[in-house]
Amino acid sequence: MSKVIVALDTSDRMIARSTVDELASFRPWFKIGKELFVSHGQKIVEDVVSAGAHVFLDLKFHDIPNTAAQATRAAAELGVRMVNVHASGGRTMMEAAANALKDISNPPLLIAVTVLTSMGADELREVGIEAPLEQHVLRLATLAKESGLNGVVCSAREVRLIKEHLGEDFLTITPGIRPAWSTTDDQTRITTPADAVKLGTDFMVIGRPITKHKRPQEGYALIQEEIDAALRG
């Protein structure tokens, strides 16, 4: 599949809306994260949903099971197509979030964050995780699958490991994507769109190479061409 999710990383509602309008003809998904959501709340979700686009509401819930479940349900009621929780919130929390979507018609995909890619082995050890990083990612992804979630956010470099253990249908959502022509910004472990396709990524989250491009439509079109060429093999 390899669908693009454009990250709307801004606190400015007008900038977010103009990005959505400008890219509408490509029919991408859009990611609304904490910055934009805390600034504009459900109004901005309604803006993007009513423009006919699919929204990934990236609020990474991590709370007691009842609170995480109610927040997940509230997100679904806003009409978003993807919502996420931290796998480290545990099995009971993830099961509660999945159960909260059971009686919703056309529910959003429920995705888990495994280990934040900003955390290295040293920082993990500081919070008590002694296992090697990849092993911990796989452990949390397995727990997410067992809890009824649809997939995980991970690095494109972890896609094969996850798919080999949890099946091709278990979705992978991968940030850290940079086309060869783009600046890397603050991303370090990057993968090109073509390589992400070859690795089997289901959704790639891409922000600045599109939103900060001089002509965002051109940036998007170049990325889509690269994806289509890789899909053709």
The residues binding ligand C5P (CB under 6 A) are 7, 9, 33, 116-117, 153, 175-176, 185, 187, 205-208
Please state, in angstroms and rounded to a whole number, the distance separating the CA atoms of residues 107 and 134. 30
Are 174 and 153 a contacting pair, CB within 8 Å?
Answer: yes
Active site residues: 60
Q: Is 190 strand, coil or helix?
A: coil
Q: Closest approach of Cβ 99 to ligand C5P, in Å?
A: 25
Please state, in angstroms and rounded to a whole number, the distance separating the CA atoms of residues 14 and 70. 29
Please give the structure tokens belonging to residue 104: 């919703």
Nearest 5 degrees, angle CA 137-CA 207-CA 171?
35
Phi, psi angle pair for 110, to nearest 5°? -110, 120
Please state, in angstroms and rounded to a whole number, the distance separating the CA atoms of residues 16 and 22. 10
Q: Closest approach of Cβ 216 to ligand C5P, in Å?
A: 12
Q: Closest approach of Cβ 103 to ligand C5P, in Å?
A: 30
Q: Closest approach of Cβ 131 to ligand C5P, in Å?
A: 19
Smallest CA-to-CA distance from 154 within 192, 122, 202, 105 is with 202
With CB atoms as reference, the residue minimizing the distance to ligand C5P is: 207
